[in-house]
Amino acid sequence: MIFIVATIIAYATKKDRTVSAPHSLEAWITQEAAIVERMEAGPGPGLATPAQIAGKSGLEVMQAMLNGEIPFAAIAKTLDFSLIEVAPGRAVFQGTPLARHLNPLGTIHGGWVATLLDSALGCTIHTMMPPGRGYTTAELGVNYVKGLTPKVQRVRAEGKVIHCGRQLATAEARLFSADGTLFAHATTTCLVFEMPTR
């Protein structure tokens, strides 16, 4: 009886660490290459000017970034990840775990994982901002459930909004590979505010 219960628990635990992944690794790499080429053909990494984002909603800003119309965040180039998809209340980033991201124990540094998740979480909330509204992270919680190595060629951080109010917004994200293996999940609480006018 104990063996049966242990087997059921082990199976349930393994099953819970798998998320659905609609694409193959090859499709992920192809999609990423096309998006990175488009984004780098535009202004490349940097900061958007106030004129470039004036009057745009957060979703419109994110779409403009994805289309290579405004600069994308330089940290994405530094840490080898890219914005892949945006929709209202949703953002997906894809990262390439490389040897330069390893910690001394031989797995991908938790900070790299957290940065990818934080990017998905923040941009997910950004998609919900009307023109003139902004946000900042007040809390980020990350749960690491499986070690990540460069053998996993690509991972995606998919963020989804849980709640978006006038003063507070919350979101959740998962980091997974093309075969659906879950490596980490995270939540955030963000403060929402009126952007200062100059």
Q: What is the pTM of this model?
A: 0.88
Cα dihedral 153→79→112→15 (10° resolution) = -30
- Position 147 scores a pLDDT of 97
**Mean pLDDT value of segment 73-81:** 96
For the domain that residue 109 is a member of, what is the CATH number? 3.10.129.10
Instruction: Note whether residue 9 is domain-resident.
Output: no
Residue 3 clears pLDDT 90, i.e. is over it: no
Residue 6 lies in a domain: no
Domain hosting residue 53, numbered range = 22-194
**Residue 4, in any domain of the structure:** no
Inform me whether the pLDDT recorded for 86 exceeds 90.
Answer: yes
- Flag whether 150 is in a domain: yes
- Tens-place pLDDT, residues 126-172: 999 999 999 999 999 999 999 999 999 999 999 999 999 999 999 99
Mapping DSSP to helix (H, G, I), strand (E, B) and coil, where does residue 180 land? coil
Is residue 3 a part of any domain in this protein?
Answer: no
Closest by CA position to 76, among listed 92, 59, 60? 92
The domain tally of the chain equals 1
Residue 85 lies in a domain: yes
The pLDDT tens digits of the residues spanning 19-44 come to 444 579 999 999 999 999 999 999 99
Average pLDDT over residues 181-187: 99
- The strand ranges marked E within the chain are 81-87, 90-95, 133-144, 155-164, 168-177, 182-194
| Contact of 93 with 120, CB cutoff 8 Å | yes
With respect to residue 160, please indicate whether it lies within any of the assigned structural domains.
yes
Q: Is 121 among the domain residues?
A: yes
| Per-residue model confidence (pLDDT) at position 196 | 83
Greater confidence (14 vs 86) lies with: 86
